[in-house]
Chains A and B, each alone.
Chain A
Amino acid sequence: MSIIDLTCGSGGRNTHQLIVDVILKNLNYPELFNMGDAAYIGNFAFTTDSFVVTPEFFPNCDIGKLAVCGTSNDLTVAGARPEFMSLSLIIPEGYKKENLEKIIKSVRTSADEVNVQVVCGDTKVVDNMSLKSIIINTAGIGKIIKKLNDYNAIEVGDKIIITSDIARHGMAILLARGELQFNGSIESDCCHLYNLFKCLDYNCLNFARDATRGGIAAVLNEISEKCRKGFLLYEEDIVVKNEVKYLCEMLGFDPLTVANEGVSVIIVKRDKVEDVLKLVKKCNYGDNAFIAGEVIERQVVMLKTIYGGLRNVEMPSGLLLPRIC
């Protein structure tokens, strides 16, 4: 591929390839190779993220809240307590001040929810030919409670907990865009995972990731490649809200490949799974949590369908394109 197309940024196989071929090839720092949600530096976890979303305001979320949650979630699932973050704004000329203020207020509200402080930032304004809507870039730092991005901690027989129903964020954005002429709204699942994690016993958690772009399918395939083990999911237990499920079906999407913004995959020991699930369900944002499956020896991500058949859950190859067929 000689130019970068949208599939290179959608969290699937092409994104992965681009990172390996261009970025890791030239930036071969050991910590970067982990490709975790955050890097570990001494006692701290350090992360960065960028947020580009149109529209900037959508049900239960906006780009400001998304930026704070996205950053703090990366730190949380790495096993750290989110503490400080930066905020860089790239704004197209002509952007309404009123909207910017709405976004910034939302940053504040969201940061307050987990006691994160925005401590540095930057503002750039660019001509509106080169940018249509606002972009936010962040970095975040937090003290490590327990490292949860260690692939060696994953063992065959461990169980997978998913902390919420899946695929809501991706479908919320798609509806909010209005391009496909649907009416109705789905609320994004965007939330602070730290408010869920803080009531868990970290000793019982072996590994965690948040399942953002590319959905559950992408994150499990990534983990599988790194830990050289596989996953078996049970379709029967996977929770997808009805409106999300039917909309996915109508467009030909697999909910496992649709983005989330407040959904974590947690891997725990088999004998601890019921206790952890019970706790998760009691925490904020965890009421729809479920046991999704288990770690298997063979390095492949599979799903046992409701009817007992097995199928592959492949790394999504790129963009979700609505199908007629």
Chain B
Amino acid sequence: MKYIDEFRNPSIVNDILTSINKLVIKGRSYKIMEVCGTHTMAIAKYGLRDILPDNIDLVSGPGCPVCVISQGEIDAIFSLLEKEDVILFTYGDLMKTPGSNNESLLTYKAKGVDIRIILSPIDMLKEIENTNKELIFVSIGFETTSPANAILIKEMYKRKIKNFSVFPYNKIMPGIIDVILRDKDLNIDGFICPGHVAAVTGTNLFEPIVKKNRAAVVAGFEIIDILLAIRAIVLQVNNGTFRVENLYKRVVSDNGNSLARQHIDDVFEITSSIWRGVGSVERSGLALKDDFQQYNVLNKFDLIIESIYDKKGCKCGEILMGKKSPYECSLFSKECKPESPIGPCMVSTEGTCAAYYKYMVKSEHY
């Protein structure tokens, strides 16, 4: 298919690898963070770690929207399902996420709760006429997904739908990028920046990275995109000149999509939010604006989000920030596995631990 297959051409992949091998300076290490979980998955799926030079160290960042939802936020969903007869609409990503009670949406479904997996928020609209039950949408995702979620909420508002509400769990990037950059032990040389977030926000979002003298390259998700980004980061690091480079121009315009941003602004306002394993982060979440607060499920059903500490031994916090690899967590692949996840990074298939578990070849690390 156009725009896919030409970016998977094995001989070009080889050429870029050859070039990267020539460019890397022996004795120097390059620590590169892919912020986005979809990049983590792609890197694992292509077996990239295996074919890159040894001194390129890829670490995974906090870009999995399911992984970073706090335990308290998950528990709030479950406490609603315990007490009210509702229909819950969710993206499939969230189905296996465990609550403090070790239940998941899958087990609630098994107990008879009406839970529907949707691919698009607007798929929910056609259910309005079929029921008087409360229709609840779990609004998750980063800047890429938020415009779509906002459109659903606006549409419900326009149609004056009363039996609709939302778990407002969207996250945004600026705050968490700050947290990573503020870290006094920041040892990351460059960032592979999430292409699909940039398609909405524009590439400015990543300026703070280069101000800290780190490389920032916006990349697509095919293997050639990722390798070109790694090569560009190596070049920036070698030259010591840092700028935001956009290597995903076929999708990302430097200014992003202002119409999409407008939809976010119409419905949401920027707020602080709790990230699992990280804690409260300023300018990192989206709250419903006053006009849309009537749809806030937390108010409507008197739910509270408790602050719950992460499970003992779980290193997800440090893994999300790229400070530790899953192999350094004593629970990884032992107590914590995809079918019985303890921490959030194992829950979503794009979580760092799940990606490692699924795609990494068993080695001395196990």
Interface residue ranges, A against B (CB under 8 Å):
1, 3-7, 12-14, 17, 179-181, 242, 246, 251-252, 254, 298, 300, 302-312, 314, 317-319, 321-325
- Interface segment among B43-51, B74-82, B267-275, B294-302: the answer is B43-51
Query: Can you give 26 contacting A-B residue pairs, CB < 8 Å?
Result: A17-B339, A179-B117, A180-B119, A181-B123, A246-B4, A252-B41, A252-B350, A300-B361, A304-B47, A305-B47, A306-B8, A307-B47, A307-B48, A308-B47, A309-B47, A309-B48, A309-B50, A309-B51, A310-B47, A311-B47, A314-B338, A322-B91, A323-B348, A325-B66, A325-B141, A325-B350
Cβ proximity bits B174-204 to A, threshold 8 Å, 1 near / 0 not? 0000000000000000000000000000000
Q: How far is the CA of A246 from the CA of B3 in the complex (A)?
A: 12
Nearest residue in A to B5 (C-beta to C-beta)? A242
**B362 within 8 Å of A by Cβ?**
yes
Q: Are B93 and A311 in contact (CB under 8 A)?
A: no
Q: Are A307 and B13 in contact (CB under 8 A)?
A: yes
**B360 within 8 Å of A by Cβ?**
yes
Q: How far is the CA of A243 from the CA of B155 in the complex (A)?
A: 33
In-complex Cβ contact of B1 among A13, A242, A303 (8 A) = A242
Write out the residue numbers on chain B whose beta carbons fall within 8 Å of the beta carbon of A323.
Answer: 91-93, 348-350
- Report the minimum CB–CB distance from B69 to chain A (whole Å): 12
In-complex Cβ contact of B50 among A1, A246, A306, A310 (8 A) = A310
Nearest residue in B to A5 (C-beta to C-beta)? B110
Residue among A14, A300, A307 with most chain B CB within 10 A:
A307
Range of interface residues on B (Cβ < 8 Å): 35 or more
Q: Are A325 and B348 in contact (CB under 8 A)?
A: yes
Q: Are A309 and B337 in contact (CB under 8 A)?
A: no
In-complex Cβ contact of B339 among A6, A13, A307, A310 (8 A) = A13
**B65 within 8 Å of A by Cβ?**
yes
Write out the residue numbers on chain B whose beta carbons fall within 8 Å of the beta carbon of A246.
Answer: 1, 4
- Report the minimum CB–CB distance from B82 to chain A (whole Å): 15
Q: How far is the CA of A121 from the CA of B57 in the complex (A)?
A: 62
Write out the residue numbers on chain B whose beta carbons fall within 8 Å of the beta carbon of A302.
Answer: 361
Q: How far is the CA of A142 from the CA of B44 in the complex (A)?
A: 44
**B211 within 8 Å of A by Cβ?**
no
Q: Are A300 and B362 in contact (CB under 8 A)?
A: yes
Q: How far is the CA of A178 from the CA of B64 in the complex (A)?
A: 28
Q: Are B106 and A6 in contact (CB under 8 A)?
A: yes
Write out the residue numbers on chain A whose beta carbons fall within 8 Å of the beta carbon of B223.
Answer: 307
Q: Are B109 and A5 in contact (CB under 8 A)?
A: yes
Cβ proximity bits B310-339 to A, threshold 8 Å, 1 near / 0 not? 000000000000000000000000000111
- Report the minimum CB–CB distance from A173 to chain B (whole Å): 15
Q: Are A312 and B37 in contact (CB under 8 A)?
A: no
Besides A3-B107, A307-B10, A319-B95, 20 other CB < 8 A contacts? A1-B107, A5-B109, A7-B106, A13-B338, A246-B4, A300-B362, A307-B13, A307-B48, A307-B223, A310-B50, A311-B44, A311-B45, A317-B337, A317-B338, A317-B339, A321-B96, A322-B119, A323-B350, A325-B64, A325-B91
In-complex Cβ contact of A324 among B46, B91, B106 (8 A) = B91
Q: Are B361 and A307 in contact (CB under 8 A)?
A: no
**B246 within 8 Å of A by Cβ?**
no
Cβ proximity bits B106-122 to A, threshold 8 Å, 1 near / 0 not? 11011100000101100
- Report the minimum CB–CB distance from B1 to chain A (whole Å): 6
Q: How far is the CA of A298 from the CA of B47 in the complex (A)?
A: 19
